Amino acid sequence: MTQSTPDTRDITAQQHRVEEDLVKRVVESFDNCEDPRLKQIMQSLVVHLHDFIRDVRLTEEEWGSAIEFLTRVGHITDDKRQEFVLLSDTLGASMQTIAVNNEAYKDATEATVFGPFFLDDAPEVPLGGDITFGAVGEPAWVEGTVTDTDGVPVPNARIEVWECDEDGLYDVQYDDGRMAGRAHLYSDAEGRYRFWGVTPVPYPIPYDGPVGEMLRAVGRSPMRVAHLHFMVTAASYRALVTHIFVEGDPQLEIGDTVFGVKDSLIKSFEQQPAGSPTPDGRDIGDRTWTKAHFDIVLAPDTV
Ligand SMILES: [Fe+2]
């Protein structure tokens, strides 16, 4: 097992031995674990955790603060508010896990963070349907195809989409129980899909909890680049969890607080003049709307 070297320059040889001996004994306490993967994970976790404590020479007060912080992360978490996901996201742990598990494969669409706002019981809409269910915002027509890396259409792919409204809030952030700005649909025989949503806007992750306190304490912005979430699944293909980001969003320059942006996922939401004809002839009144195109390329589930 690779072990980094903690910063123990100012400690005596005896102290160094005491600390090393403790790491060794804790690692060995997992030696009889019958699950080799669990054993590997726990022993590595112990090594890195002890390295961290020793590297920063963590004080007992700081350790207590960390325990208290994690306790509050747990207490604020419920079925609508997932503070642990926010913590993982803002520490880049979510994106690192995605990087480790979604190695680039040919020109397959890149993955990005799942985020804390997915619900697995969003309604189904037909092709060309409206996922807003009352979520307010500038209408956006989103279309594209789902194919494999050879360009062969993937029919009947399940496409989950979810997004915030123009006020930067997801349905679950309202306390009236609404379900809006989310749905699923299926690609047709040629792999095509299309739906109406709203033009994404930048929004802050919920920052009224411990993760927000952490961001304020270190001078970081809670803002995310405007995006629309996708999760695409189809038999024999690697599940894809991703977003498309809005080209031209000023937040792209400032940065995304969960490190989710990839250049290949930045798409144009081209604004159309007020009152101009819509792709499906839908009457949206005398207002502007946007049009985005996102072709989804799935990797096989064997890679
Ligand atoms: Fe989001």
Instruction: Look up residue 237 and give its DSSP letter.
Output: B
Instruction: Identify residue 214 by its one-letter amino acid code.
Output: M
The helix or strand, by DSSP H or E, that contains position 303, with its residue range, turns out to be none
Work out whether strand 203-204 and strand 158-162 pair parallel, antiparallel, or are unpaired. unpaired
**148-165 burial string, b = 16+ CB within 10 Å, else e?**
bbeeeebeebbbbbbbbb
Q: Are 163 and 229 in contact (CB under 8 A)?
A: yes
Instruction: Please name which of 112, 126, 273 lies closest in space to residue 196, comparing C-alpha atoms.
Output: 126
Residue 8 has pLDDT above 90, yes or no: no
CA-to-CA separations, 235 to 9, 232, 298, 301, 303, in angstroms, rounded: 54, 10, 11, 8, 14
Residue 34 has pLDDT above 80, yes or no: yes
Task: Give mean pLDDT, residues 98-123.
Answer: 93
Residue 4 has pLDDT above 80, yes or no: no
Tens of pLDDT, residue by residue over 155-214, are 999 999 999 999 999 999 999 999 999 999 999 999 999 999 999 999 999 999 999 999
Task: Give mean pLDDT, residues 271-297.
Answer: 96
pLDDT at 302: 87
Question: Residue 38 Cα, ligand 1 centroid: separation in angstroms?
Answer: 32
* CB-based contacts of 207, cutoff 8 Å, min separation 6: 215, 216, 222
Half-sphere exposure of 72 (CA within 13 A, CB side): 13
Distance CA 145, CA 122 (A): 21
Task: Give mean pLDDT, residues 213-219.
Answer: 97
Instruction: Look up residue 151 and give its DSSP letter.
Output: S
Q: Report which of residues 302 and 144 the model is more confident about.
A: 144
Question: Residue 166 Cα, ligand 1 centroid: separation in angstroms?
Answer: 12
pLDDT at 5: 66
* CB-based contacts of 257, cutoff 8 Å, min separation 6: 89, 90, 204, 205, 215, 220, 221, 222, 223, 224
pLDDT at 210: 98
Question: Residue 55 Cα, ligand 1 centroid: separation in angstroms?
Answer: 35
Tens of pLDDT, residue by residue over 48-92, are 999 999 999 999 999 999 999 999 999 999 987 899 999 999 999
Burial of 71 (0-12, 13-18, 19+ CB in 10 A): exposed
Task: Give mean pLDDT, residues 258-264.
Answer: 96
Question: Residue 53 Cα, ligand 1 centroid: separation in angstroms?
Answer: 33
pLDDT at 3: 52
Q: 3-state class of 225 per DSSP?
A: coil
Question: Residue 236 Cα, ligand 1 centroid: separation in angstroms?
Answer: 27
Quick one: tokens of 209?
């909890």
Structure pTM? 0.88
Q: Are 217 and 281 in contact (CB under 8 A)?
A: no
Q: 3-state class of 163 per DSSP?
A: coil
Task: Give mean pLDDT, residues 245-267.
Answer: 96
Question: Residue 204 Cα, ligand 1 centroid: separation in angstroms?
Answer: 9
Residue 113 has phi, psi (to 5 degrees) of -60, 150
Of all residues in the chain, what percent carry a pLDDT higher than 70?
97
Radius of gyration, alpha carbons of the chain:
23
Question: Residue 117 Cα, ligand 1 centroid: separation in angstroms?
Answer: 7
**123-137 burial string, b = 16+ CB within 10 Å, else e?**
eebeeeebbbeebeb
pLDDT at 194: 98
Cα of 234 vs its chain's centroid, Å? 20
